[in-house]
Homo-oligomer: A and B are copies of this chain.
Amino acid sequence: MVDLRTTVAGISFRNPLWLASGIWGESGNSLKGAWDAGAGGVVTKSIGSEPRLGYPNPTIETYDKWGMLNAMGLPNPGIAEYPQEIEVARSAGATVIGSVFGADADEFAALAGRMAATGVVAIELNLSCPHAKGLGSEIGQDPDQVRDVVAAVKRAVRIPVIAKITPNHYDVPMLAEAAENAGADAISAINTVRAMAVDVRLRRPVLAHGSGGLSGPAIKPVGLACVWQIYERVKIPIIGIGGIISADDVIEYLLAGARAVQVGTAVAFEGIGIFHRLREDLSTRLAALGVATTGELVGAGHRGAGAA
């Protein structure tokens, strides 16, 4: 039997398939649902200091089965009300990673502290939302600010800190390095790719916000390039994100250097049952490839041609 357990930053996960932030992550019941469906870890919706309604609809646009565009605008119930949601998931046994976003290092640190107090196993810093002004990617595209945020959060919490990196940059690994230098325990990459849709009949953007972020299979090649390049520049573990919908996608990310992965848009395309299917398919596929643990594959693509 293939052993799917994986350890990231000292925390052990029953499998490397995590629920990505923003999907099934606003309510505790849904986090529990994703856990019950087989996810190895569940990342919460990115939580801020105050409740945020997000942008008006339309907030999403889909492209067949290969992509999705969204500009939710970081709706979230706010950190004050969120502990009760996490409690629902934690008391069901879920391994919960708490995602937070803020406008500066102080806000990130304060939020991370309150999030850590809920009993999450790690903090994920959303440094990469492409469509929320002044939040996320404006900070995440500047290595100095990344360093400041990560350092402040590291001072505020004892649990591992994961920096989630944007792909919308000419030098993505530099951002990961900045996070590593400031003490980040892991990197997750990528968030969505800045994108847009225009309605031809109505002559206006489809999304109420105008631009948004592209996710789904279309961005898998983008996420792989980021993970591959980050792996060549940092030593801390990487969590691969972007377009994963099959066991082979997961293996591609492992080979590129990811130790775990997150699944987002595929949940919309297939339902939460995707975690069960991916887990089964991954076991079968790894067994067929003669691999006993996912760890064997992490970064193996960099070591030149392995046996087929």
A residues with a Cβ closer than 8 A to B are 63-64, 66-67, 69, 137, 141, 166, 168-171, 193-198, 200-205, 210-211, 214, 217-219, 221-222, 224-225, 228-229, 248, 251-252, 255-256, 285, 289, 297, 300-301, 303-308
Contact = CB atoms under 8 A, between A and B. Distances in A.
Given A203-B300, A204-B305, A252-B200, A225 B170 contact: no
Tallying the copies of this chain within the complex gives: 2
A208 B170 CA distance: 22
Given A204-B301, A204-B305, A222 B211 contact: no
B256 A200 contact: no
A157 to B, nearest CB: 27
A198 B255 contact: yes
Q: Which 3 A-B pairs have the closest CB atoms?
A: A195-B221, A203-B306, A218-B218
A219 to B, nearest CB: 8
Main secondary structure of the interface of A (DSSP, over half): mixed
24 contacts: A63-B221, A64-B66, A66-B66, A66-B218, A67-B218, A141-B171, A168-B168, A169-B170, A170-B170, A193-B193, A193-B222, A195-B222, A195-B225, A196-B221, A196-B225, A198-B255, A200-B252, A200-B289, A201-B289, A202-B308, A203-B297, A210-B228, A211-B225, A211-B228
Contacts of A248: 200
A54 B63 CA distance: 33
A219 B222 CA distance: 11
A168 B226 CA distance: 11
Contact of A224 (B197, B201, B219, B297): B197
Contacts of A306: 202-204
B305 A252 contact: no
Contacts of A201: 289, 308
Contacts of A63: 66, 217, 221
A225 to B, nearest CB: 4
